[in-house]
């Protein structure tokens, strides 16, 4: 039996597609179910868009673009700021909705509302300050004007693991820049985006500026939108294989793209680290979002002299973690998103053990309803184990010993990914060297979480292209024009 507060909240979520400022059902009336991964129960039924619906959303975004692009930056900023305020007013609802459809503990869902909301506030501040430049050319023969212009209608595709923040991290800079959007949230967790889209409507976003398409026909709907000559930008967050496919689809139209893809973050602990800080950082970097984050520490590289102490300390902490539905008081580990995720964690642990690793706690799926996996520590993971190569995307902490700094750098960089790294050392000089030597777009030095709306989030190597957040974030949605004028 569902809790009355949960039922009431779910009943308030729009179930349609948002196209040109109106909520409407999918062509032909198709719908798709949304589940609670903690119970396996169907909690909602939403519209399942066809290719025609995708085209209608694209029509709306294209039609709304000229007037939104011409709206003064201050006005756009004020709408974003109102959306930020409304999100704060409804933060408990948004947090609960995320816990219901995605499974993360409520305290973490509240944290995501705070983090995700900051993109609205940050880009409302950035937009009026984003200016071009004007000056004489070096020869003194003319004046150069460099101006920035919104790229046009954008297609945004988001994953299931951060249902709010992945949407705000794209929508806020796009709207701040003067672009219109069609957003396609993950089919597993669409409710937060639908609810947030209503907040944007309430904040005064004009019709057609934000359109939402939820669909199980992801491939065909996306391909049609991406090949539309009116589309000017594709921004994707998700796995690297899907990102590669989308880059191929974007190539014929030389479409601008931003790609926030997978990660395989090293978490390096040197003997000169403060071990209390390192253990604290490890718990955050590994178990936030039940391990289902692109920034999740995937490989714990620990210097040999402290590896036993580190392993014992994290094992003790992990053994004490509370597993359960995210709505229960004190729960730290909710369910994984689906059966496939549980199977993957199980297979990766099995492979590591077969190759000589030791499970010090956890290691198995949890019996009963829902898709839970025990919080796990795997020590002494051997080179060549799949767990060191693939994204675990689950609550499994894998430890590998190393000998010296060169060894640590070699192991840390031994991956095609390059999103984020974490380094724990009390040596300032070593910390500086690691900034130079690790091949990642972001780094946490003695901290286990780096994300901030004011900072440029993004990866090197196969972790992606472009940046979200910071001053850089708005430029993903702007194009530059240089004009030479004759001297006056
Ligand atoms: P996914 O690639 O399976 O799906 C992401 C989105 O793409 C979803 O909306 C999905 O419906 C859509 N999609 C899937 N196939 C598609 C296709 N053929 N055409 C168009 N769209 C398609 O990833 P996921 O499982 O939802 O998310 C987990 C992945 O996302 C992990 O690899 C994680 O590292 C990555 N991620 C990266 C970041 C980042 O900022 N770098 C942030 C969060 C998640």
CATH number where 133 lies: 3.40.605.10
397 domain residue, yes or no: yes
pLDDT class of 368 with cuts at 50, 70, 90 = confident
Give the active site residues: 260
DSSP codes of every residue in 235-280: EEES-HHHHHHHHHHHTTTT-EEEEE----EEEEE-TTS-HHHHHH
Evaluate if residue 471 carries a pLDDT over 50.
yes
Mean per-residue pLDDT of the chain: 97
Query: What was the pLDDT predicted at 42?
Result: 97
222 plus 358 within the same structural domain = no
334 plus 417 within the same structural domain = yes
116 plus 164 within the same structural domain = yes
26 domain residue, yes or no: yes
198 plus 283 within the same structural domain = no
From residue 74, give the alpha-carbon distance in Å to each of 81, 125, 438, 477.
10, 9, 40, 17
The pair of three-digit structure tokens given for residue 202, joined into one six-digit string: 């309430």
- End-to-end Cα spacing for the chain: 76
Any residues with Cβ below 6 Å from ligand 1, and which? 157-162, 184, 186-187, 218-219, 222, 237-239, 242, 245-246, 260-263, 294, 391, 419, 459, 464
358 plus 431 within the same structural domain = yes
Q: Of 411, 453, 408, nearest to 431 (Cα)? A: 408
240 plus 255 within the same structural domain = yes
- Which ipTM was obtained for this model? 0.96
Number of domains, the chain? 2
CATH number where 400 lies: 3.40.309.10
Which DSSP helix (H) or strand (E) runs through 15? none
Evaluate if residue 82 carries a pLDDT over 60.
yes
Average pLDDT over residues 155-176: 98
439 plus 468 within the same structural domain = no
Domain around 436: 265-445
241 plus 325 within the same structural domain = no
Distance from the CA of 72 to the center of ligand 1, in angstroms? 34
55 plus 183 within the same structural domain = yes
Query: What was the pLDDT predicted at 2?
Result: 72
**Ligand 1 atom nearest residue 159's Cα:** 26
Instruction: Tell the residue nearest (CA) to atom 10 of ligand 1.
Output: 186
Instruction: Dump pLDDT digits (tens) for 112-139.
Output: 999 999 999 999 999 988 999 999 999 9
Tell me the C-alpha distance between 190 and 26, whole Å: 15
Instruction: Tell the residue nearest (CA) to atom 42 of ligand 1.
Output: 294
181 plus 330 within the same structural domain = no
Letter string b/e over residues 30-60, b meaning 16 or more CB atoms within 10 A of that residue's CB: eebebbbbbbeeebbebbbbbbebbebbbbb
**Ligand 1 atom nearest residue 242's Cα:** 2
76 domain residue, yes or no: yes
Tell me the C-alpha distance between 246 and 226, whole Å: 8
235 plus 354 within the same structural domain = no
- Beta carbons within 8 Å of 82's beta carbon, 6+ residues apart: 203, 204
Evaluate if residue 1 carries a pLDDT over 80.
no
488 domain residue, yes or no: no
Distance from the CA of 254 to the center of ligand 1, in angstroms? 22
Query: What was the pLDDT predicted at 338?
Result: 97
234 plus 284 within the same structural domain = no
Evaluate if residue 107 carries a pLDDT over 90.
yes
350 domain residue, yes or no: yes
Average pLDDT over residues 412-433: 98
**Ligand 1 atom nearest residue 162's Cα:** 43
Instruction: Dump pLDDT digits (tens) for 34-48.
Output: 999 999 999 999 999
Distance from the CA of 159 to the center of ligand 1, in angstroms? 5
Average pLDDT over residues 441-452: 98
336 domain residue, yes or no: yes
């Amino acid at each position: 039996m569902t809790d009355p507060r949960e039922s009431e909240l779910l009943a308030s979520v729009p179930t349609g597609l948002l196209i040109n400022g109106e909520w409407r059902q999918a062509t032909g009336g198709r719908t798709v179910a949304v589940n609670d991964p903690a119970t396996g129960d169907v909690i909602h039924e939403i519209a399942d868009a066809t290719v025609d619906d995708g085209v209608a959303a694209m029509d709306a975004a294209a039609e709304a673009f000229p007037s939104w692009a011409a709206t003064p930056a201050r006005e756009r900023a004020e709408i974003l700021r109102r959306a930020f305020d409304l999100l704060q007013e409804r933060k408990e609802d948004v947090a609960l909705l995320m816990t219901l459809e995605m499974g993360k503990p409520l305290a973490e869902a509240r944290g995501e509302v705070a983090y995700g909301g900051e993109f609205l506030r940050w880009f409302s501040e950035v937009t009026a300050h984003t200016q071009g430049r004007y000056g004489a050319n070096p020869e003194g023969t003319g004046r150069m004007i460099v101006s920035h212009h919104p790229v046009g209608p954008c297609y945004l595709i988001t994953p299931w693991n951060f249902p709010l923040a992945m949407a705000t991290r794209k929508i806020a800079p796009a709207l701040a820049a003067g672009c219109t959007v069609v957003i396609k949230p993950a089919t597993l967790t669409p409710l937060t985006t639908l609810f947030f889209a209503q907040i944007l409507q309430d904040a005064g976003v004009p019709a057609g500026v934000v359109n939402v398409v939820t669909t199980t026909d992801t491939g065909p709907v996306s391909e049609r939108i991406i090949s539309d000559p009116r589309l000017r930008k594709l921004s994707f967050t998700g796995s690297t294989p899907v990102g590669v496919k989308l880059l191929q689809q974007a190539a014929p139209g030389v479409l601008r793209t931003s790609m926030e893809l997978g990660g395989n973050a090293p978490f390096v602990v040197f003997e000169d680290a403060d071990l209390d800080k390192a253990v604290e950082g490890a718990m955050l970097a590994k178990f936030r979002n039940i391990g289902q984050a692109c920034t999740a520490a995937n490989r714990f590289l620990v210097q040999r002299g402290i590896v036993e102490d580190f392993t014992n300390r994290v094992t003790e902490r992990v053994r004490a973690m509370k597993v359960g539905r995210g709505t229960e008081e004190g729960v730290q580990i909710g369910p994984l998103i689906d059966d496939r995720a549980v199977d993957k964690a199980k297979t990766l642990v099995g492979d590591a053990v077969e190759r000589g690793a030791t499970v010090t706690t956890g290691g198995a799926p949890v019996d009963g309803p829902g898709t839970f996996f025990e919080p796990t520590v795997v020590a002494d993971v051997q080179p060549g184990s799949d767990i060191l190569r693939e994204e675990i995307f689950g609550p499994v902490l894998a430890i590998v010993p190393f000998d010296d700094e060169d060894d640590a750098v070699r192991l840390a960089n031994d991956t095609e990914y390059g999103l984020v790294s974490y380094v724990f050392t009390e040596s300032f000089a070593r910390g500086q060297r690691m900034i130079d030597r690790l091949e990642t777009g972001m780094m946490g030095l003695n901290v286990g979480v780096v994300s901030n709306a004011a900072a440029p989030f993004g990866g090197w190597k196969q972790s992606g292209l472009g940046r979200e957040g910071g001053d850089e974030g708005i430029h993903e949605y702007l194009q530059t024009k240089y004009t030479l004028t004759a001297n006056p």
